[in-house]
Structure 1
């Protein structure tokens, strides 16, 4: 699906075709015929449009025939039905700067572009570099929001794990850990991209725009630091719960071993008195109670010993 937007007197207006100072937004479902049409209409290399289809595409920039391409990663919710997949993943957004338009290509719908659309009426379409920086800003904000949501979700799961050591909470924590791995990798790649853009001045920014880009580099670095902190906390939490589970398992095995040892003495005494050979006091009136009392006495002594050693 291809959308065309233009800022007309401060109002975001959908138009039928690309014109000067138009924002072209390409969303799924993506068709090869549409790519070919856009490439011919806007004079854009078709490879620039197809780069967004590769979900593993790294953040980068390049230029060909005076057409600039910027690929940056953005977070989104994972709609996979596989319960072992991450809650959130990162996808590439291709930003293409032509002679007269700015083109964004998305392999999935994402919140960053939607937020940019909501503020498009405040943008000056002739200042394409500033529009790119504003897209970067929305992407950074999206990372921050998802990271806070991930941290809140982790806290809730940890509280549940304190009450019960169920596998469901541990599996969800692992899915959060996978999400953080995606975020750390994408944020590191995005940070390198912004640093290279600042160093090479690929967007031909003026002084005010350079200050905005420097602020975005700081924000992206902060998001990366947050992701690293949450990743370390989650790894420590999982290691701690693994140790707790292992310790609980050892305690259960210790209790079962103690109970087995305590029960072995009555079985041994009953086995001895059950032999088909003459035994002491077998003709006494209370011969039946002698092994019973002896077995109970030994069991009580062993139980008291294990309680003293805190094996229970």
Structure 2
């Protein structure tokens, strides 16, 4: 089903779930390239790209979003046909696109969609809101990184490991989304994509600034998480070594005591075994032996 907003001579068509009839309409009325139509028909994510034609541009962009439990990041694909007097958004795009479209149909128009005058300005508004939403998402990742840093010395190792792994996974996904698209947005500022309206260079530059900022934040978070992961591994290794050290010292102290106790448990003649105070003498000797070993270990700074 094709929904349409008219803003003067500008039209914004939004197709939530394109049918064969909808795609045929686009092909017949707008004469889009058959390969672009096939990309719109595909249910799998396409690679990000901007195809340039004589009378329109075709954009496929990817933007991350959190799942309903706000834990794992996923990717939403945004497909846009951009002509001189129209914008067409295809498929179950990012919810930001749907919100903007709904705003343009409502009298309040909270996002001021109806104030745009050209397709370039409308595309800029769509991209700007997608960038702002992505920045908000990255801010949440930044908060998670700070929480990991704060709880790094916490005794709950399993929880910290889970949070580090989850955050690292999300950052890697953001990295794989943003990296291939960086060169695409450079095309706007470089002039390779001319658009249809004049004096849009600063606006496209602003979009690139947003994207460059997100890319820098992603790289920074990735480096921080890698550093925190190494620090956590070192802490866990140190804790394990401390535990093994204590267990080794205990074993070292108990070994000679166990040996002495085993000797006197044998059915053979041993010194002092017939003495009336043999048991207590043996206990005193074992205590002195254990104490001397503890003193020696402390002197060597092993304890």
TM-score (norm 1): 0.82
Write the distance in 2 (CA, Å) between the matches of 1:40 and 1:297: 99
Matched, 1:4 2:4: yes
The answer for the alignment partner of 1:119 in structure 2 is: 112
Alignment equivalent of 1:44, drawn from 32, 39, 42: 32
Any conservation in 2 of the 1:71–1:94 contact (CA below 8 Å)? yes
Report if the CA contact (8 A) 1:165-1:245 is conserved: no
Segment drifting more, 148-157 vs 104-113: 104-113
Q: How many residues align?
A: 294
In the alignment, the residues of structure 1 paired with residue 126 and residue 116 of structure 2 have an alpha-carbon distance, to the nearest angstrom, of 11
User: 1:58, 1:92 within 8 Å by CA — same for their partners in 2?
Assistant: no
Shift of the alpha carbon at 1:211? 1.6
Please tell me whether residue 25 in structure 1 is matched to residue 10 in structure 2. Answer: no
1:60 matched to which residue of 2? 49
1:92 aligns with 2:81: no
SS at structure 1 position matched to 2:151: helix
Structure 1 runs not aligned, ≥5 long: 9-19
Structure 1 residue 218: Cα displacement: 2.2
Give the whole-Å Cα distance in 2 for the aligned partners of 1:102 and 1:176.
Answer: 36
Selected match of 1:104 from 80, 89, 100: 89
Whole-angstrom CA distance in 2 between matches of 1:232 and 1:23: 41
**In 1, Cα distance between equivalents of 2:31 and 2:272:** 110
Judged with a 3 Å threshold, the aligned counterparts in structure 2 of structure 1 residues 242 and 111 are, in CA distance, closer, same or farther, namely farther
Q: Is the 8 A contact 2:120 2:197 kept in 1?
A: no
Task: Name 2:139's counterpart in structure 1.
Answer: 148
Answer yes or no: is 1:190 the counterpart of 2:178: no
The CA distance in 2 between the partners of 1:32 and 1:198, in whole Å, is 36
1:78 to 67, 72, 83: 67
Equivalents in 1 of 2:208, 2:86: separation in Å?
25
Are 1:277 and 2:268 an aligned pair?
yes
Shifted more, 187-196 versus 115-124: the winner is: 115-124
Q: Distance in 2 between matches of 1:32 and 1:245?
A: 58
CA distance 1:55–1:162, change in 2 (3 Å): farther
1:255 Cα deviation (Å)? Answer: 0.8
Shift of 1:112: 5.2
Residue 207 (structure 1) shift = 4.9
Cα distance change, pair 97–207 in 1 and its aligned pair in 2 (3 A): closer
Q: In structure 2, how many angstroms separate the alpha carbons of the residues matched to 1:308 and 1:108?
A: 70
In the alignment, is the contact (CA less than 8 A) between 2:84 and 2:196 conserved in 1? no
| Residue ranges of structure 2 left out of the alignment (5+ in a row) | 104-110
The 3 A distance-change label for structure 1 pair 119 and 303 is: farther
Q: Which residue number in structure 1 is paired with residue 108 of structure 2?
A: none
Cα 1:235–1:33 change in 2 (3 A) is farther
Report what 1:14 is aligned to.
none
Report the TM-score when normalising by structure 2.
0.84
Shift >6 Å, 4+ stretches: none
Residues 188 and 205 in structure 2, CA contact (< 8 A), matched pair in contact too: no
Could you tell me how far 1:57 is from its partner in structure 2? 2.9
